[in-house]
Structure 1
Amino acid sequence: MPLSWNEIRARATTFAAEWQGTESEDADAKPFWDAFFDVFGVSRRKVSSFEKRVHKLGTAQGKIDLLWKGTLLIEHKSLGRDLDRAYQQAIDYFPGLKPEELPRYVLVCDFERFELHDLEPDDGVAPVHKFKLSELPQNIHHFAFIAGYRTQRIRESDPINQEAVVAVGQLHDALKRDNYTGQKLEVFLVRLLFCLFADDTGIFQPKDSFHDLIEFHTHTDGSDVGAVLDEMFSTLNEEPSQRQGRLAEHFALFPYVNGKLFEAHFRPPQFDTAMRQQLLTLCAMNWGAISPAIFGAMFQTVIELEAADRRRQLGAHYTSEANILKLLGPLCLDELQAEFEKIKTNQDKLFEFHKKLQTLTFLDPACGCGNFLVIAYRELRKLEFEVLRAAAKFGQRVGSVFGFLQVDVDQFYGIEIEEFPAQIAQVAMWLTDHQMNVMAGVAFGEVITRIPLVKSANIRKGNALEIDWAEFVPPRQLNFIMGNPPFIGKQMQSAEQKAALASVTHGMAGAGVLDFVAGWFVKAGQYISSTPDGFGGIAAKANKGRKNFKDVKFGQGLGDMFAAAAVAEVKQRRAIRCGFVSTNSITQGEQVGVLWAWMLAQGMCIRFAHRTFQWSNDAPGKAAVHCVIVGFGMEPVPAPRLFEYEDIQGLAHEVTAKNINPYLVDAPSVALPNRRAPICKVSPIVFGSMPNDGGGLLLKPDEKAALLAVEPAAAPWLRRFMGADEFINNGTRWCLWLKDCPPQTLTTLKAVRQRLEGVRQHRANSARPTTQALAATPALFGEDRQPQSAYLFIPSVSSEKRQFVPIGFMQPKVVASNAALVVPNATAYEFGVLSSTMHNAWVRYTCGRLKSDFRYSAGIVYNNYPWPQDVSDKLHAAVSTAAQGVLEARAVHQKGKTPASLADLYNPVTMPANLTAAHKALDKAVDAAYGTKGLKTDAERVAFLFTLYQHYTSLLV
């Protein structure tokens, strides 16, 4: 255990006095540094070595005066020598060191003068601490890393995290190749992680005890490494009072850990020379710099990925710390920090606030390796430090040396379906607890450790959609639900996942369209909105049957007591706040009308939200997922916080909203249903025609040419076939359109009949009875919705990068495919409204997505769209004229041998000036038809449209 700072300073004073006036490097340097390390209660020979030989640049060799691998390099000179030159000499040794040996600190000294260089400072500015020997006691805190008071330098992007995982992966792969697999391998790696961390952070004393155990007490061929580790693990699980007196000293020095981490016994792995060296490489790394917040998830990839994929995919699926704080800030941390700032100068309120921190509880029902739990715990501990610093200004400390830190890991709950991540989450919380204790030790000058482990985070292995959350965490004990549930689309769910989701959404109309992540929203909604049947039932029975009690007052009192408890629990449930990271699919398209219609009906309201942003982390192979964060609960907030992104890869800017609706817009809370007809009096919209032909009715240009070469008479029965891709990119396809072809003519078209036979066989071989029935009419499209007059063509899928979804008019001889939607008999006015920024803003906020592309729909986007009403003839004509201006602006660029495609015209980079101007004129006319002015952003336009929608639909009831 580290010495207290008071004792260290006293020893430093004695050291400075004893060594005053020393001059000769050759005679006194080694005893000087032995005595220096003893100031901190550390045996120099346990952590470092003198005169390590290294190669400098080129062929030169040198000897480092003192090297503590990965931590400290000392270059010592005789009294009065040039210390700048000594520092340069120290740096010259770096090329000869392995990456894991490179020090964070360089210390140069001539007995009288000290210069300590921190090469990896937290703020990026490398400080140099210069002082004299006589000033050592006042500067001793700069050497906290020697004493074991390591202020952790933890960054999620720190290469040490990835290097460590790769190194663990190499050992994992070697053991797995030797058939050491399954649960025993997973448990072994988790225990190893704890020991490596403990060896570098003061849990094991002296430092590097574990490293020394492997290096000096195992055979170089690795033959006894497994047995030594087995003995060590057993020792860590045994209280000192119960250990044998003959236990070897190199085992006996390890503390009792408890926490059930080393309780179960597994057959230890067998090592060879290479495996032992891999273990020593791990021991040599600086595990004190590891971030439990992300290392756990990265550590899991050791198990999930093959070695060849590990470097490429490492970290691709963990949530970055920045994204975690995007959720935790508005969920709880920002409010807690603000409350602290208000009361920090009030002694009584400060005491009550500290008590409050001790009662807050958190549940992550999809905790994985515990990254959300770790960050939440770390931030809560840091806030507690601020409370204690504020309390110190009143001349008091809250509690005793070991008791004043009251926030603990048992305030945190997690559910994880896989055992290995659940074990990592448990250990990650302990590691974080120790890191925060070390930080507290530095801040308050005390030695703080919680070994043996007494309290643990409550991590439960199981399927979160099947577990009763209220049984695991009674609602009266819970404050916050948070996390990052799994992202699995409806098409990608396994049978087991579909069944689990169905069990949660039972009775919810249309639940089959939901992504897997929606199950956690529903489950949380059920948890916080449910009536506690237990309390309510007991209370009712007690009141109803109180006449059975001899003491009627007692019966009445019992009923009142249970009724009051039920009311209190309902109140506590309603106060629980939730926040989840999710794919943005749950705030778009048809899922909104299913999920959020139910959520709103249960009394949920959105308290904060991050609109779509791109998943970000600093690891290789990072996942490009478009996400949202939604915070919700049953208690509304006066000013919900909405975070928007001008660049989905950039930073958010916050706006204060009046209300956040399920589309994450500051607008009334509505969930658009999948309607069969428009809410306004406009032309209906339908899908194009579907061939369902196995390719027999469709022809590419070369196939058309080949057909006509052998059968020129087929020409009248060929028509242009237009899908979204052909429409936007000037593509060309053709189809056989035979609905009006006389049978006597078709009989003469042998090549056509051969294609129709292929269509018939395709349909006949289908597993669907409706498709089998279509085999009787192979000359016809499976679904024919082709308009008989000019129609408006809307591609079903369009790039999200475009400001406008390109739409246009088609003649009836052009057959629209089912990859498009058509509005028969549309006018220029309808084209104008649908081509406006107003409508396109609605599309961007309400449509579903195919990957990230817009997916225009009839039932959600078009049929729910609130068109301008009661438009005057003048304004109607102005929209039509402006719409014609857009068509004419396009036509200028669609002439000649190489006409511009709509993809060219509506590319934000290449959109021509005349088309941009035409759209601006159209927007002005459409805005006037709506009677609006000054709507500059999509959010403002969509908020206006939702208000209009709410008004229109209220008239439909």
Structure 2
Amino acid sequence: MEDGDSTEIFIARWRGGEGGAERANYAMFLVELVDLLELPHPDPAGATHENNDYVFERAVRDADAEGNIRTGRIDLYRRGCFVLEAKQSRWRDQGKEISLPAEKPQSPGFAEPELLGRRSARRDWDVLMRNARDQAERYARALDIEHGWPPFLIVCDVGHCLELYADFSGQGKNYRQFPDRTGFRIYLEDLRDAKVRDLLRAIWLDPQGLDPARRSAAVTRDIAGRLATVSKSLEGRGHQPEKVAHFLMRCLFTMFSEDVGLLDRGSFTEMLADARDNPEAFAPMLEDLWRTMNTGGISPVLRRKVRYFNGNLFANAAAIPLRREEIGELYEAARHLWTEVEPAIFGTLLEQALHRDERRQLGAHYTPRAYVERLVVATVIAPLREEWEALVLGTVERLRLDKPGEAIALVRDFHARLAATRILDPACGTGNFLYVALELMKQLEGEVLETLAALGGQEALALETMSVDPRNFLGLEVNPRAAAIAELVLWLGYLQWHLRNGGGISDPVLQSFGNIRTMDAVLAHDPERPNADRTGTERPNPRRPDWPEADYIIGNPPFIGGKDLRARLPQGYAEALWKAHPHINKSADFVMYWWDRAAALLAARGSRLKRFGFVTTNSVTQEFSRRVMAKRLDGPSPLHLEMAVPDHPWTRATPDSAAVRIAMTVVAPGEGEGVLYEVASEAGLDSDQPRIAFMEARGRIHPDLTVGADVTLTRPLRANAGLSSPGMKLHGAGFIVTPAEGEYLGLGRREGLDRHIRPYRNGRDLTARARGAMVMDFFGLEEGDVRRRFPEAYGHLLRTVKPERDRNNRATYRDNWWAFGEPRRELRPALEGLLRYIATVETAKHRVFQFLDAEILPDNKLLSIALDDAYILGILSSSYHIAWSLRAGGWLGVGNDSVYVKSRVFDPFPFPEADRASRKAIADLAEELDATRKAVLAEHGDLTLTGLYNLRDRIVAGGTLNAAEEGQRIRGRVDIIAELHARLDLAVTAAYGWPATLSDEEVVARLVALNAERAREEQSGRVRWLRPEYQLARSGVEMLAPKPAAVQIEAELAAAAAGKPPFPRDAIGQTAAVLESLRDGRAWSATDLASRYAQGRKAVPRIEATLAALARLGHVAVEQGGYRLRRVA
């Protein structure tokens, strides 16, 4: 049978009165649909749901707020592809069917359209389709984590249509109409179109292939590559980079304009093709075209009328003469389908193409759209959707029958608020965050207008007065070229979306809103002037600049560590920055100046700002940056973390470089809980479609981006004081010598030099293989002493260290050039008299502690602990302390290695109060562990400490090893190392007296509590010194009187005196009040809820109506005990 015949039979059968509109027939309808599409049938369902990857009635289980397990069934499920839910003919909830409330006979919510299956059918408000869509999303959320979020949700109205919603980000937070507002609903009659049938086949067989970003990323990279070739050639001929950049931006917008119909299709490409044979005429022709585009009118070059573009882009119509091959590159770029260019990455690639230093890395480092979307959705779209889907639609459902005019007015009001919403990116770069926000807000606007039309409102009237457009999106950017690209990207995205969704563009095509400002977002100052000693410039009157008002702030500020600010920023900038922000500690990362400014605005009285979200380095959890967060979160106007991801890949990985790791934080006003996402698995980081699965935890998110026990509240213990420190910070590579160089400089010949040239170890020496390096340490000697006693060594430092120190800005480094920059004056006396001490690498993949001989000087990247007791080494090497260090420390770098911060990890750590037998057992195991590792490394020059622990982790996790790794396992005694660690864990558990079955989270919680107990002991005078003979002599003990706890008497009196609030009078306020009351996760009846308000039982009818409307929309579940808010993602 021909495809056309089978399609017509299918349409006639299901639209013609054989029960097509009855939900009971959905399985038969879908089986016949897959036959029509020549797709495989669903499999028979198995007894257990784990392997039911393509079945009808696929079981899913989910827990409510009280932990009760509920079972639902997906109408049709295909793993990795879709969740399909059929429209209900009755309201189905929790396994029972409840008749919908009585309504008017032909109410638009429940009367089927007269002509089913046709695009011309009336678009009515259909609460059952909305309910089915929400149900599909809830079922997608309830799938097993290994299944991931399906890219598609399908809602089926049997015999009428299918509605398609997609979220390719893999996070399930923003399923939206696919492919757009005009095409997401597929009617039966649309199946006659082969393209529609191919679309449905792709959803079944290759849904990820429909991701627009997958197709557009390759196109975008190719275009940027061609622009880079032209840019390089023009700069090579002496043209200024800024002029080249703006010239090429005008070229590419002209290419875009012809592809979307703003210029006659193909007209510019044809002009480029002709110009290859006459390159001398190209620049004058192009200038003539651009002048006409700027003003509108007849173009002599194109010989046709050209629209009025306006804006700033074509105000300067200057064109650069091009050679034939350069015109050819532009011609090839113009031949691409510009409707497929992805603005979310185009700006970054264009900036790389036009920037001389970044051109060689074109395409190597950019942020995949899915990552940007993750932050934008959590910060901007989630609260807007929450307001729209629950608050507004819940109220509309209640009012639409009896008060349709009020329902329409509510939708109009929301649209007005949406169109007035302002988004600010104060470090906007090339505009990728702003563009993604624009597209997602336009999609939400489309849904609002769709609802307005379904209710009988006039959509066109709403768009005449207001709509979301580029003026809603504000940017601050210090780089003028990036700011110009950002403005271009916004307009490209806006016009692309508008034309794709069937909207017309009126003249002028472009407008100059001034929404992207070129300015420094964190430092304003008076004009620069020479500084006092004429060695550079200074920035007088440094201050925080004003930011434009906005409802939401998003962004990805620059990644510069606090310790690198002076080196990586212009001369004098760091000092001015610190003066402008005196409340921020100087060691905080650069990004925290943006974070702190946004937090201050959010906490300000009467602020317009509702939420902000930033990408930061993943080192934000470390001490200095964490302090900035903690101060704002716990300030007089408290804030809370609404969402956080402590560790997330960022830029696209390449064969030459790993993906940069970052953190995301989204902040909202007031106290509250949030959702913490931790990466469970990741794949495809080197592709345009990275796949990341998350584990979620809900609770109060602490400043260290954890939930559960709050390690940020722990206090340093006097018992641990004065024993740990980073090693020596040289500030001069000339201090390091080889043993042979040491002999040449007098070692073994000059008396006393052996006390000053000593073995030296850094982090790589411990984790890989020791270099055998030595270091010249003249701490405590004056310059003349060194010169007279050790002239060879002095001369070496004079040649290799002094020139570098002379250029240093710090006087102490210049004046004491023969000594280490940071000689660690407090660590040296702590190490005196010890034969060995404990060390660990500050930033490392594996947290390993070991003994070092006392003659070895440690590098700054080693954390040294002035204790020679193997019992302490055993405690530090246990899983208890490792779990503590991972929570209390931080994470750093592309390798995402843990950071051991002494002030947050060692100083507050409460060691157990063990008896003699326990101490001996732990010490013996620690000695054996340390000796075993040292023996292995001494015997086998190809093995490293990192390699041994890589194998140990693989073995403990049950992984398989290849033949070479099995050999390393045997030679490295890896099984013995693993066994010693296991025995050590049991011994440490016994020393604490805690159960051996505790999880890491439970261990950390107990250690936090023990820290608080020890802190109280020390406050009352009892200190459990780790090395009393040294610490007592050093500190001088003083008894501390206990401090009384603060009592919140005034707060309690105020709470007791507070009366019950009134139930709101307006419909939106009533819906908001009911939703807020249900957020505790309990089931409430209308009477119970009414008792919380001043009106008491008088409020019951309005509360009942609100609950019923929310239940019909699927936002609340109906139970015997009342109504419960459904869990949201």
Alignment of 1:247-396 (within 5 A): 248=300, 250-262=302-314, 264-305=315-356, 310=359, 312-342=360-390, 343=393, 346=397, 348=407, 350-396=411-457
Q: 2:950 aligns with which of 895, 902, 907?
A: 907
Contact in 2 for aligned 1:152/1:439 (Cα 8 Å): no
Question: What letter corresponds to residue 220 of structure 1 in structure 2?
Answer: D
Which of 686, 694, 702 aligns to 1:653? It is 694
Give the direction of change, closer, same or farther, for the CA distance of 1:142–1:866 in structure 2 (3 Å limit): closer
Quick one: which of 535, 547, 558 aligns to 1:486? 558
Report the Cα distance in structure 1 between the residues aligned to 2:415 and 2:517, rounded to whole angstroms: 28
Q: Which amino acid aligns with 1:375?
A: V
Letter in 2 for 1:625: V
CA distance in 2, matches of 1:470, 1:757: 50
For the 8 Å contact 2:777–2:819, the answer to whether it is kept is: no
Q: Post-superposition shift, 1:418?
A: 1.7
Equivalents in 2 of 1:713, 1:683: separation in Å?
Answer: 33
Show CA shifts across 1:228-272 (max 9, x none): 2222222222255xx7xxx6483542111223332x235332234
CA pair 666-414 structure 1, distance change in 2 beyond 3 A: same
Give the alignment of 1:538-549 within 5 angstroms.
none
Separation in 2, partners of 1:410, 1:751: 73
Is this contact kept in 1: 2:640–2:673, CA < 8 A? no
Alpha-carbon deviation of 1:304? 0.5
Which residue of structure 2 aligns with residue 207 of structure 1?
Answer: 265
Separation in 2, partners of 1:791, 1:709 = 23
2:926 maps to: 883
The answer to whether structure 1 residue 528 and structure 2 residue 602 are counterparts is: yes
For 1:789-938, what aligned pairs fall within 5 Å after superposition?
789-800=834-845, 802=846, 804-805=847-848, 807-813=849-855, 816=858, 820-847=862-889, 851=893, 852=895, 853-863=897-907, 865-868=908-911, 870-871=913-914, 876=919, 879-880=922-923, 882-884=925-927, 886-887=929-930, 890=933, 893=936, 896=939, 902-908=945-951, 912-930=974-992, 932-933=994-995
Corresponding residue of 2:515: 458
Q: For the Cα contact (< 8 Å) 1:613–1:645, is it kept in 2?
A: no
Shift of 1:609: 0.9
- 2:841 and 2:311 map into 1 onto residues whose CA distance is 57
| Structure with the greater alpha carbon radius of gyration | 1
Tell me the secondary structure at the aligned position of residue 651 of structure 1. Answer: strand
**Aligned equivalent of 2:642, options 607, 618, 624:** 607
Distance 1:814 1:715, change over 3 A: same
Match of 1:473 in 2: 548
Q: Which residue of 2 aligns with 1:585?
A: 619
- Match of 2:903, SS state, is helix
Confirm or deny: 8 A CA contact 1:642 1:660 kept in the other structure.
no
Number of the residue aligned with 2:97: none
Do 1:589 and 1:849's aligned partners in 2 also have CA atoms closer than 8 Å?
no
Match of 1:44 in 2: none
Q: 1:430 aligns with which of 467, 491, 511?
A: 491
| CA offset digits 1:902-939 (Å, max 9, x no partner) | 44433345571121122122223334444555777656
Contact conserved, 2:426 with 2:477, CA < 8 A, in 1? yes
Residue deviations 1:25-77 (CA, integer Å, cap 9, x gap)? xxxxxxxxxxxxxxxxxxxxxxxxxxxxxxxxxxxxxxxxxxxxxxxxxxxxx
Q: Tell which deviates more after alignment, 327-336 or 850-859.
A: 850-859
Partner of 2:738: 700
- Give, as a single letter, the amino acid of the residue that structure 2 aligns with 1:656: A
Query: Aligned pair in 2 of structure 1 residues 932, 461: CA closer, same or farther (>3 Å)?
Result: farther
Contact 1:790 1:812 in 2 (8 A): yes
User: Deviation string for 1:391-427 (max 9, x for gaps)?
Assistant: 4444555334964983222211111112222122112
Q: Deviations over 1:83-111 (max 9, x none)?
A: xxxxxxxxxxxxxxxxxxxxxxxxxxxxx
In the TM superposition, residue 706 of structure 1 has moved relative to its aligned partner by 7.2
Q: Secondary structure at the match of 1:906?
A: helix
Q: 2-side partners of 1:637 and 1:878: how far apart? A: 45
Residues 140 and 614 of structure 1: is their aligned pair in 2 closer, same or farther, counting only changes over 3 Å? closer
In 2: Cα distance, 1:451 partner to 1:777 partner: 68
Q: In structure 2, the residue corresponding to 1:460 is in which secondary structure?
A: strand
**1-structure distance, mates of 2:815, 2:353:** 53
Counterpart in the other structure of 2:254: 195
State the TM-score, normalized to the length of structure 2: 0.58
Amino acid at match of 2:886: R
CA shift, 1:583, in A, is 1.2
Cα shift readout 1:174-212 (whole Å, capped 9, x = no counterpart): 4334444344333322222221111111222x3223223
Q: Is 1:792–1:831's contact at 8 Å kept on the other side of the alignment?
A: no
Amino acid at match of 2:552: F
What corresponds to 2:148 in structure 1? none
Aligned-residue offset at 1:892 = 6.6
Task: Give the 3-state SS of the residue equivalent to 1:465 in structure 2.
Answer: coil
- Work out whether residues 258 and 454 of structure 1, in 8 Å CA contact, stay in contact via their aligned partners in 2: yes
From the superposition, tell whether residues 763 and 858 of structure 1 become closer, same or farther in structure 2 (CA, over 3 Å).
same
With over 3 angstroms needed to count, the CA separation of the structure-2 counterparts of 1:316 and 1:605, relative to structure 1, is: farther
Bigger CA drift: 939-948 or 601-610? 939-948
Question: 2:554 is paired with a residue of what secondary structure?
Answer: strand
Structure 1 letter corresponding to 2:621: T
Task: Give the AA of the match of 2:738.
Answer: K
* Whole-Å separation in 2 of the counterparts to 1:695 and 1:447: 69
Q: Distance in 1 between matches of 2:304 and 2:859?
A: 78
**Quick check: 1:685 aligned with 2:724?**
yes
Per the alignment, do residues 586 and 703 of structure 1 end up closer, same or farther by CA in structure 2, a change over 3 Å counting?
same
Task: Find the partner of 1:185 among 215, 235, 244.
Answer: 244
Give the alignment's TM-score, normalised by structure 1: 0.67
Answer yes or no: is the 8 Å Cα contact 1:645–1:653 preserved in 2: yes
- Assess if the C-alpha contact under 8 Å between 2:746 and 2:790 holds in 1: no
Query: Secondary structure of the residue that 2:692 maps to in structure 1?
Result: coil
* Alpha-carbon distance change, 770 to 929 in structure 1, aligned in 2, over 3 angstroms: same
Q: Could you say what secondary structure the match of 1:385 adopts? A: helix
CA gap of 1:836–1:231, structure 2 versus 1, over 3 A, is: same
Q: Is the 8 A contact 1:678 1:862 kept in 2?
A: no
1:589-644 deviation line (CA, Å, top 9, x unaligned): 43323564456436343221112122242778766322111112333333434334
CA distance in structure 1 between the aligned counterparts of 2:330 and 2:387, rounded to whole angstroms? 47
Q: Look up the match of 2:678.
A: 643
Mapped to 2, the partners of 1:616 and 1:836 lie a distance apart of 35
The one-character-per-residue Cα deviations of 1:709-765 (angstroms, maximum 9, x if unpaired) are: 985998986865555444444533557899999xxxx99xx9976446656887888
Separation in structure 1 between the aligned mates of residue 342 and residue 733 of structure 2, nearest angstrom: 54
Call closer, same or farther: CA 1:707–1:841 in 2, change over 3 Å.
same
Shift in alpha-carbon separation, 1:233–1:937, aligned structure 2, 3 A: farther
Q: Are the aligned partners of 2:269 and 2:331 in contact in 1 as well (CA < 8 Å)?
A: yes
In structure 2, list runs of 5 or more residues that go unmatched: 1-167, 170-188, 200-209, 401-406, 525-542, 686-690, 955-968, 1020-1042, 1044-1129
Kept after mapping to 2: 8 A contact 1:316/1:623: no
